[in-house]
Amino acid sequence: MTVNRPKALNALNPDVLKDLKDAFEAVDLETTRVIVLTGAGEKSFVAGADIAAMSQMTKEEGEAFGKFGNDIFRMIETFPIPVIVAVNGFALGGGNELAMSCDIRICSDNAVFGQPEAGLGITPGFGGTQRLARIVGVGKAKEMVYGARNIKAEEAYRIGLVNAVYPQAELMGAAMKLAGIIAGNAPIAVRNCKKAMNDGLDTDMDNAIVIEEKLFGACFETEDQQEAMKAFVEKRKVEAFHNR
């Protein structure tokens, strides 16, 4: 998927957010194993929300816009299959928040991340105050959010905001290679892994391991598990995973 509004550096307005929602809702989960998300052009993944569209909002309109974006990003975060984001250039404000709603983040060496909202008189509105602290730690997140400070790709990698940094020409190739590796595994198992990790991180360890146990057990009802373990015992490669 590509956020395609390059003349506005792919800034998020209500129409772009709705298109993003529609695109995810249209994914065929029977045949799709992984989603790779990026932005059109070489300058920007998503430069943020559309400031011109927000500048005249009332309190009620601002809250509704925040909920609209949050609902979509939460849908992406909890989407059944993995989502890899390839950040090419700016990922500021809503762009960083969108990237953080994805499972795995990789970026080009010209990427810039940040939550500049405090300099515009607002807070992050699409989950930035919540996900950034969970990903990079509370202290670094507060520094970035309170200071409206941008960071470059190297620092994003150092603090764990991204998994890897690539030259821009190699970014999409790396994203597709990673997607292919994930897609080569048993799809039901991968989905259960995502659900176990997401749901488990939202609760305490005692409840988290119960979540894992149930999803682990559910895999033993699948044809893919039976074929994969039979192949292992017989010392051969799996013929194919059939998502059932």
User: Catalytic: 143?
Assistant: no
Decide: 228 and 238 in contact? Cβ < 8 Å: yes
Q: Which of 30, 60, 117, 227 does the annotation list as catalytic?
A: 117
Identity of the residue numbered 1: M
Q: Which of 97, 143, 154, 239 does the annotation list as catalytic?
A: 97
Chain centroid, CA 155 distance in Å: 19
Q: CA 181 to CA 32: how far, in whole Å? A: 14
Take residue 154 and report the two structure tokens written for it: 């190297």
Which alpha helices (H) appear in the chain, and where do they start and end? 14-25, 51-54, 59-77, 94-100, 128-136, 138-147, 153-158, 171-183, 187-201, 205-219, 223-233
How many CB atoms lie under 10 A from the CB of residue 30? 8
Sole residue written with tokens 């989603």: 35
Identity of the residue numbered 117: E
User: Catalytic: 97?
Assistant: yes
Q: Which residues are catalytic?
A: 97, 117
